[in-house]
Amino acid sequence: MRRLLDVGLLLDALERAFVELSAGRASVPPRTAAFSEHGLLGAMPGYVDGVLAAKLVTLFPGNEPSHQALIAVFDAETGTPVAVLDGTHITAVRTGASSAVATRALAREDSRVLAILGAGVQGRSHLDAVGRVRDFSEIRIASRNPERAQRLAQETGATPVGSFEEAVSGADVVCACTSSAEPVLRREWLASGTHVTSVGSSMEGPELDRETVTAGLLVIESRVAFQPPPAGSHELQGLEPSEAVELGEVLAGDHPGRTSAEEITVYKSMGHAVEDAAAAALVLRLNSS
């Protein structure tokens, strides 16, 4: 997976998948999950752009890694199983890459300061993927575990900072990548024109406060995200689906996206089966080439 999953190619594959999803040309039922005393097992089947696949993914907050997965790919004409892939690395990479697609579409062109909140698997994935779509001159990393932030900063040349507020202050792009069950940033920390991505998921509560979620343009993968968890997002409960736009609508030009340099844009990701299908199809194509 690490050898074959090319992030640059994945960005384009994800763009296509998001457009297909928002155009109604994908078949993806809401995510379901079974819960144990320690975590959950989620099922994410989907069909998009000729790819029929299903992911089984576990979320066990006390484990490292917290997310582990398998992806099965089937022949879309016969239903014959084609491959079973390790989905743990795919999940990590496609999540950061999806945020990078959103950042490329929504962040200001002159964005120069990137803040990464969280120094785990997703913090690393976002630093790599989002760093490809804008010319950042400064990258800050903050974590609830300062030693982990120091290690990731040393490995990547980023700057470790002591608090989430310090990381966010003055940043142009903020990536929230934690498993926190309570908000890790506040609306008042955000400068005008900031682009925020949030991929953190918890079985207990939201990573973003309501003021941040509703601060400007809210972008999601699918309006299924307004359903209760595990299909939907804690942050979106109580809001109306009409209050958000799908990323595929922005990418297709059906929605203008950012309309001013001062507008705050928020991409709230839940993870979506079309992302897994696109990544798995890319891996299989590159493996056969």
Q: Is the pLDDT of residue 83 over 80?
A: yes
Superfamily name and number for 107-268: NAD(P)-binding Rossmann-like Domain (3.40.50.720)
pLDDT of amino acid 289: 86
Structure pTM?
0.96
Q: Give the pLDDT mean for 107-125.
A: 97
Residue 267: both structure tokens together:
């991409």
Question: How wide is the angle at C-alpha 180 spanned by C-alphas 179 and 184, nearest 5°?
Answer: 125
Q: Assign 61 a pLDDT band (cuts: 50, 70, 90).
A: confident
| Distance from C-alpha of 90 to C-alpha of 92, rounded to nearest angstrom | 5
% residues pLDDT > 90 (the chain): 95
Average pLDDT rounded to a whole number, residues 206-217: 96
According to the model, what pLDDT value does residue 230 have?
92
pLDDT at 203 exceeding the cut of 80: no
pLDDT at 3: 94
Q: Do the Cβ atoms of 197 and 267 come closer than 8 Å?
A: yes
**Phi and psi (nearest 5°) for 183?**
-55, 135
Beta partners for residue 34, in sequence order = 41
Has residue 189 got a pLDDT over 90? yes
Average pLDDT over residues 95-119: 98
Q: Are 6 and 282 in contact (CB under 8 A)?
A: yes
Residue 67 sits at φ, ψ, to 5 deg, of: -110, 130
Q: Where are the domains of the chain?
A: 7-90+273-288, 107-268
Q: 7-90+273-288: which CATH architecture?
A: 2-Layer Sandwich (3.30)
